[in-house]
């Protein structure tokens, strides 16, 4: 398993791990680099991180939109739109609860 599957920015996909890490640093998403993750399919739109799929195994999620995958870390803030939440909730919007 790899940390990253891909990242999409301005409709361009990047699959190379070092290029993805470089882009995450450029957009100040250091917290993603510090987290333990697997098979992350990421996107950056309007300076917002979008997690399309993958496993967030350990770490702190500071802000963004989580669409699908499994989450096991600490949710500091953001929008949880879907997936399997098994982490610790602090603040944010959970769209899976009706």
Taking only the tens place, the pLDDT of each residue in 24-52 is: 999 999 999 999 999 999 999 999 999 99
At residue 98, the pLDDT reads 65
pLDDT tens for 48-64 read 999 999 999 999 999 99
pLDDT tens for 86-97 read 999 999 999 998
Q: In the chain, where are the structural domains located? A: 4-94
90 vs 25: CA distance, rounded Å: 25
At residue 91, the pLDDT reads 96
Signed CA dihedral, 17, 19, 20, 21: sign only: positive
Closest CA to 2 of 36, 43, 48: 36
pTM, entire model: 0.95
CA dihedral 57, 6, 50, 61 (to 10 degrees): 30
Can you read off the two tokens belonging to residue 46? 């309007």
Query: Average pLDDT over the chain, rounded to whole?
Result: 96
Please say whether the beta carbons of 35 and 42 come within 8 A: no
């Amino acid at each position: 398993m790899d940390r990253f599957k891909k990242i999409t920015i301005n409709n361009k996909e990047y699959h190379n791990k070092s290029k993805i890490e470089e882009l995450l640093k450029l957009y100040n998403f250091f917290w993603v680099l510090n987290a333990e993750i697997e098979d992350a399919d990421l996107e950056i739109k309007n300076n917002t991180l979008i997690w399309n799929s993958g496993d967030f195994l350990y770490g702190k999620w500071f802000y963004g939109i989580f669409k699908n995958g499994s989450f096991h870390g600490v949710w500091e803030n953001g929008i949880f739109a879907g997936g399997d939440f098994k982490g610790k909730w602090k603040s944010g919007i959970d769209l899976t609860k009706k």
